[in-house]
Amino acid sequence: MLYGKHLSWPALKPLATRALGSSDLWRSLYFLNIYRLLLGLLLLCLVWIFGNDMVLGSRDLTLFYRVNIAYIVLTLLALPLVRLHKPPFNLQLGIQIGTDIACIVLLSYASGGASSNLAVLLLVSLAAAGLICRGRITLFFAALASIAVLLEHSYSILTQDASVAQYIQAGLLSAAYFAVAWVSHTLSKYAVASEKLAAVRGVDLSYLAEANRLVIQDMPDGVLLVDERGLIRQSNPGAARLLGYEFEGERKDTLNDCAPLLDALYGVWRQSRSNRDEILNLPGTHCEVRVRFLPVQREGFGGAVVILEDMQRAQAQAQQVKLAALGRLTANIAHEVRNPLSSISYAAELLQEGEQIPGQARLLNIILDNAFRLNSIVLDVLQVNRRDRVQKVAFNLAEQLPYFVDNLQNTEGFTRQIFEIDVAPTCVVNFDRGHFDQVLWNLCRNALRHCQRQPGSVKLQAKCSEEGRTVLDICNDGATIPIDLVQRLFEPFFTTSVGGTGLGLYIARELCEANGSQLEYRPKEGRACFRIVFGGKNEF
């Protein structure tokens, strides 16, 4: 499927917040503690291995050991607290940076003061603090480190005869503390701004990707993303339906596997790069499609997007547009025709009442018969516009069908045994009653016209599924409709009857669709059969 990973809309909204959440800060603080632990272990190992051969601990080795071990123990205690996120982040960071300042200054004093250069290690702690906390508190840490270094050197001068000239070194080191703190603070601001921008861009891209996925997945046309070797990287359900091929996410299919003819056309397109659309009849499903290739050349990917447009769907849409326009036109014409038609019929009836010449009666009957036929066509045309006035009501087919057959019997004058009704007592449907009577009237009259008029020749059978879906079959024992005529059954003005208008089945289907149902022809057990599927797609 396109965009294999599905992102729901609620999951996208807090994305920016998650990107800048506290989890990253706690992770950075954890790695800072790992550095502090390694630093303490390294200093301890160096003193233990090399002893008095190094500057470390040269002034007071016992103090150096005690402070170093205390530093390691405090760092080990801080690690689980960071994992637990307790106490709060800012408090933990302040305690740990304060511990670094105190311990490193004491280690520097135990190693000879400013000449040991151990105080330089505070630059790393201050830089890390500036990048982690992303606030001006880093300058406060730099001030504490500067005061501690200057106090340590002053104490060394008073108690250990340290050189006053090294104040310059301590001052320069303090200035370096402030410089590093300010640089890290500035870099952290840029980092925060970059993270916010990246988070916003990430949300925009996620929304765009989700919108693209929903649009392409729901497209009735087929879409395939194919690389230069003919390997299908992505597909949508429309392509699987048109090609009659089941795409699997793990398996890498080629264009030749699912449609060799399409693969050959792709090879020709790669040579010529012509954007002309090609009409192709797919062998697997016998679907006629218009094929378009859109080149994709980006970041080393050289392939194409293959679009398969279903010609049958396009033709059906065009037919619907033409039929809608034709319906409006014929409805207007029908209104204009009814008035002169009524005048013609009325004049013919008046002539019948007066004195007639030989042969006039036959001519008047011809006029009245054709006027009646034209009036029937006008009424059928006007029925097309009734589909927009739907008033659905719930009724039980077990009660409605016998009542309808009785009314039809009184009108058409057939024996009741011709109709057989088989309806489950729980078949309740939602349908406009007037529309339902019109649809059933057309279908039952067609069944009577073509059946053998024997007991049970016309059968009305309704059944319900477990999901509450209902279907109604109207079958007769007459000849089934030839296959070459089935596709034209529901076309307007198409009829096989001499006196028919060709609008009965077309109007019946339009009224069914207006009520959210479907009418289709389904021969069953050698009988001609029309099926009404109430509520949508046939699942029987």
Provide mean pLDDT across the span 237-255.
79
Provide mean pLDDT across the span 458-463.
89
- Count of domains forming the chain: 4
Per-residue pLDDT at 298: 67
Model pLDDT for residues 426-449, shown as the tens digit of each residue: 888 888 888 888 888 888 888 888
Q: How far is CA 155 from CA 86, 150, 165, 384, in A?
A: 36, 9, 14, 105
Provide mean pLDDT across the span 405-423.
84
Residues 288 and 431 in one domain: no
210 inside domain: no
Residues 380 and 288 in one domain: no
Residues 242 and 177 in one domain: no
213 inside domain: no
Which of these ranges, 26-30, 224-228, 324-328, 404-408, has the smallest mean pLDDT? 324-328
Residues 45 and 165 in one domain: yes
Residues 46 and 143 in one domain: yes
Q: How confident is the model at residue 6 (pLDDT cuts 50, 70, 90)?
A: very low
Per-residue pLDDT at 17: 39
1 inside domain: no
pLDDT at 15 exceeding the cut of 50: no
Segments of 408-469 assigned E as strands: 419-423, 428-431, 458-464
Residues 467 and 509 in one domain: yes
Per-residue pLDDT at 34: 92
Q: How confident is the model at residue 16 (pLDDT cuts 50, 70, 90)?
A: very low
Model pLDDT for residues 331-360, shown as the tens digit of each residue: 666 666 767 777 777 677 777 776 667 667
Residues 286 and 426 in one domain: no
Provide mean pLDDT across the span 263-288.
79
Residue 45: CB atoms within 10 A of its CB come to: 10
Model pLDDT for residues 511-528, shown as the tens digit of each residue: 888 888 888 888 887 788
Task: Please tell me the distance from the alpha carbon of residue 287 to that of residue 124, in angstroms, as a whole number.
Answer: 70
Q: Are 304 and 211 in contact (CB under 8 A)?
A: no
208 inside domain: no
Provide mean pLDDT across the span 478-504.
74
Q: Among 170, 201, 232, identify where a domain stops.
A: 201
Per-residue pLDDT at 540: 46
Q: How confident is the model at residue 377 (pLDDT cuts 50, 70, 90)?
A: low
More confident residue, 136 or 512: 512
Percentage with pLDDT > 70 across the chain: 83
Q: How confident is the model at residue 27 (pLDDT cuts 50, 70, 90)?
A: confident
Task: Please tell me the distance from the alpha carbon of residue 380 to that of residue 331, in angstroms, as a whole number.
Answer: 10
259 inside domain: yes
Looking up tokens 């006007």 gives 382
Task: Please tell me the distance from the alpha carbon of residue 498 to that of residue 516, in angstroms, as a whole number.
Answer: 32
Question: CATH code at 335?
Answer: 1.10.287
215 inside domain: no
Per-residue pLDDT at 463: 87
pLDDT at 539 exceeding the cut of 60: no
The mean pLDDT value of the chain amounts to 79
Residue 87: CB atoms within 10 A of its CB come to: 10
Provide mean pLDDT across the span 260-273.
83
Angle in degrees, CA 38, 44, 45, rounded to 5? 90
Provide mean pLDDT across the span 468-478.
86
Model pLDDT for residues 58-82, shown as the tens digit of each residue: 888 889 899 999 999 999 999 999 8
Task: Please tell me the distance from the alpha carbon of residue 124 to that of residue 208, in angstroms, as a whole number.
Answer: 42
186 inside domain: yes
Which of these ranges, 125-134, 236-245, 348-357, has the smallest mean pLDDT? 348-357
5 inside domain: no
pLDDT at 423 exceeding the cut of 80: yes
Residues 300 and 346 in one domain: no
Residues 186 and 37 in one domain: yes
Structural domain harbouring 371: 322-387
Question: CATH code at 279?
Answer: 3.30.450.20
Which of these ranges, 228-232, 419-423, 493-497, has the smallest mean pLDDT? 493-497
pLDDT at 123 exceeding the cut of 60: yes
Per-residue pLDDT at 73: 93
Q: How confident is the model at residue 301 (pLDDT cuts 50, 70, 90)?
A: low
Which of these ranges, 150-164, 196-210, 354-368, has the smallest mean pLDDT? 354-368
Per-residue pLDDT at 189: 81
Q: How confident is the model at residue 452 (pLDDT cuts 50, 70, 90)?
A: confident
Q: Among 387, 405, 432, identify where a domain stops.
A: 387
Task: Please tell me the distance from the alpha carbon of residue 138 to that of residue 433, in angstroms, as a whole number.
Answer: 80
Residues 178 and 237 in one domain: no
Per-residue pLDDT at 19: 38
Q: Among 284, 313, 342, identify where a domain stops.
A: 313
Residues 491 and 511 in one domain: yes
Provide mean pLDDT across the span 314-343.
69
Residues 115 and 235 in one domain: no
Per-residue pLDDT at 37: 92
